[in-house]
């Protein structure tokens, strides 16, 4: 795990937003640009992970 993102859900728990600003090391930048990072969303209903998605840099 590199970063923890805590999301504040909108009313009805159907959507929400998160934002993270961080200083990355050169190695983290290389990993990010190579597509090595992903987001894994955990919920109370599915603690091991509800959704997993790759984070990609638009080229």
Structural domain boundaries, residue 35:
16-54
| Residue 20: predicted pLDDT | 80
In a domain, 31, yes or no: yes
Q: What's the total number of domains in the chain?
A: 1
Span 18-44, pLDDT tens digits: 778 889 999 999 998 999 999 888 888
% of the chain surpassing 90 pLDDT: 22
CA dist., res. 12 & res. 58, Å (int): 31
5 domain residue, yes or no: no
């Amino acid at each position: 795990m590199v970063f923890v993102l805590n999301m504040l859900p909108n009313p009805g728990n159907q959507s929400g937003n998160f934002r993270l600003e961080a200083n990355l090391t050169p190695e983290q930048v290389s990993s990010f640009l190579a597509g090595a990072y992903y987001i894994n969303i955990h919920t109370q209903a599915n603690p091991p992970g509800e959704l997993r998605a790759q984070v990609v840099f638009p080229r």
